[in-house]
Chain A
Amino acid sequence: MAKYEAKTSSYKIISLLGQGFDGKAEVHLAKYLPTNEMLAIKKFDMDKIKEEAQLVEREIILTRQLQHPRIISYHLAFVNGPSVWVISSLMAFGSCRDLLSRYFNDGLPENAIILILRDVLDALDYIHKKGFIHRAIKASHILISATGKACLTGLRYACPMVVNGKWQKSIHSFPASTAGNLNWLSPELLEQNLLGYNEKSDIYSVGITMCELANGQEPFAGTTTTLMLTEKVRGCAPQLLDCVTFPRGLALESSGDCDSKSIENRKFSEDLHSVAELCMQRDAYYRPTAEQLLTHPLFKSHKKSMPLPDLLKPALPMSDRVAYNKDDVTNLDTINRLSQMEIYTCEWDF
């Protein structure tokens, strides 16, 4: 914390990377002038946030409280006029949602999914053991560093499982401002009945996120919320789409902008399908814990795989692009690229 100065003059804002929190927070690429280090600054517009200020507070406190290499760390947070600035390391590949929207419309390759998934489960295992439920696992809350490590973020939706010093068997609170996360939430959380939910709810969201990473879009995208609810309550389990689950013969009237050819031609491994299935079981009791999932054969077989940055090509880490012009960001080329990014990176929600 002491390493960075809490004054705006120490930071040079270079470009807007994207928006988060329903447009109430902006993420900027910035340079820390004393060291010329590239950073990400998230500015919460407290005038727009108003009643949700508690969420911002909770996010900052909890993110500072949780110390894990697979969870984003905030170097510093301070108030600047009507906004709260949060300084963190630059996650150079942006969010997974970002990568999907820009480069992988039909989904990421299997090896990339496995690498990301393992990091997410690592973080989740830690969070659960610390007594919290994340409640917002989704691709836009998974950031990828320049070296290809995935970091979890979005902790403002998290809730403690320990209340009054006691570990609760189930939680009944319905997360506030959660409209943007509904498609990822588990049936038992959405049901809001007396049975409540526990950390296994996050495991369900991991399953949905796997579908999102594999298919390019989360299941139930574009579906009305109430239909999504009834589908989940009735136990409809989404799937990873490949030649097995999405046979050629299945004619679709409205395939949209998605290239169904590439879906029909690919095949995910049995293990990947099985992990997704395990995660999205209707009955939370049967879902494995994050720790159990990490012992799944899926993560043993992939060890020889390429590093994530290679798998993510043609996507390039942001620092590389800026690195050429570290001191001269007025370079036209960079400006062009950055401005292009502005258009696409609207899901940089961290």
Chain B
Amino acid sequence: MDKNMCNISKNISNDGGESENEIELSNRIFSVESDEELYPIPLENHNEIVDFEDELDAVNINNFFHRVDSDQIIYQSKKKKLKLIGKYVMGDMLGEGSYGKVKEMLDSETLCRRAVKIIKERKIRRIPNGEQNVQREIKLLRSLRHKNVIRLVDECYNSEKEKKYLIMEFCAGSLQGMLDSTPDKRLPHFQAHGYFLQLIDGLEYLHGKNVVHKDIKPGNLLITLEGDLKISDLGVAEIIDLFAEDTSVQGQGTPTFTPPEIANGLETFPGFKVDIWSSGVTLYNVVTGTYPFEGDSIFRLFENIGKGVFQIPEDIEDPLRNLLLGMMEKDPYDRLTLQQIRQHQWFTRKPAKHGNVVPLPALKGDQWHNMTTIPYLIDHYYDLPNDDYPDEHFYTEHQLNEERKKYQKDHSNGTSQQSNSSKRRWKKPISCMTVRNFPGCKQS
């Protein structure tokens, strides 16, 4: 078995380098979701190296074909291989957008955290209107600059891989993520109020630029580390013609947040009012934890929205109740304008502080949202190549379970873990003195 392991490790070191994180997995012996953390080595098939990319916690024992002792399942920690796109250091995945992965990046010149939207052109071409939408979004983003609208910082292109990299401001999470992290899927009113003000600021800027977002929803409202709200994903946004009347013709937003005029299939309707409606649904959702309209199917849902009749839970009182009714007025011409919302009583008066602030939910178990680029850099700068003794990078399932138990125990004790990422806990600590190619220790 030891011999086998050595052979395998050779294989890994030979082709592990370029496997990267882009390989998509079909089912192998383990059907586990993935993260770039561990390499399992299948006992059955030594020649195949399976690439796993997920949290240890996701390992699902039930999916094994046959019983294996936990001591017999062997993992190798996958190296966090440093990858550069221009001057940017690639980090872990943050999420999946409509057109591709979103990952964290680090600007190596300013050391500012960034997020990158990776657009695979080959994939985009297969989506109807894909290329067009992407082009329009990029063009739009370039022209926008506001505190509450996500900013496109830089663009890179890899012609070989036909990949476009849109480098954006870094956000730590979305409003949707925050809602999901709470038991009743809602925020206290004073917190919702703070975000709503920012949403209206951002919307006012967009509308002033004749841009209708058309897909306002908690999932598209990102929150930065500073607590600023950024309107993102302008994939279906539309520029209203300055000289034509304010009428929009297409609707491709998210069904639950769609206004009656689109649900009813009207040919033209005032564009800006679409955003007012979906902002109303968003506010409704954030303060109640429910949606004003639901349906078993999109047809049922649209039917309900089309009638424009909905209930607001009893505990929502005026003036908030009144604001929601005004924003979700069925007739777009009767619906509140941004100016009216600004003057609304709920808008102008900050609600009393009831309840606790909902924090940004942890990202992959890291409540402090540490830079995910650091492990790649540490690996690059400090990890000595250890081809002779690869065994220290191998762990059995049994060991992992022990570690996990220990970790959970530590965690439940409430020990406030300092910011150091707990992910790399199996790495042998390497002292600063053994650093290779480190010119900084010397006085120049």
Binding site for B on A (CB under 8 A): 172-174, 178-179, 182, 188, 190-196, 215, 217, 219-231, 233-234, 236, 241, 246, 252-258, 260, 263, 283
Contacts and interface: CB of A to CB of B under 8 A. Distances in A.
Given A229-B377, A230-B378, A191 B443 contact: no
Given A173-B226, A191-B370, A230-B378, A223 B106 contact: no
Contacts of A195: 368, 419
B112 A193 contact: no
By Cβ-Cβ distance, the 8 closest A-B pairs, closest first, are A223-B440, A256-B444, A172-B226, A172-B225, A193-B368, A194-B368, A193-B370, A230-B377
User: Which secondary structure characterizes the binding site on chain B?
Assistant: loop
Contacts of A191: 370-371, 419
A227 B381 contact: yes
A218 B377 CA distance: 22
A190 B418 CA distance: 15
B444 A230 contact: no
Given A174-B112, A225-B111, A234-B432, A193 B440 contact: no
A226 B432 contact: no
A194 B112 contact: no
A67 to B, nearest CB: 29
A252 B368 CA distance: 39
Kindly name the residue among A226, A229, A263 whose own CB sees the greatest number of chain B CB atoms within 10 A. Answer: A226
B442 A254 contact: yes
B207 interface: no
Contact of B374 (A178, A233, A283): A233
Given A174-B113, A229-B111, A230-B378, A252 B442 contact: yes
Contact of B443 (A194, A233, A260): A260
A173 B442 CA distance: 32
B432 A193 contact: no
B283 to A, nearest CB: 21
A252 B112 CA distance: 33
24 contacts: A173-B226, A182-B111, A191-B370, A192-B113, A192-B170, A193-B225, A193-B368, A193-B369, A193-B371, A196-B225, A215-B443, A217-B443, A219-B440, A222-B440, A222-B444, A223-B439, A223-B440, A226-B106, A227-B377, A230-B377, A241-B443, A252-B442, A254-B444, A258-B443
A234 B226 contact: no
Given A172-B226, A223-B438, A256-B443, 8 more contacts: A173-B226, A193-B371, A194-B225, A215-B443, A217-B444, A226-B106, A230-B381, A255-B444
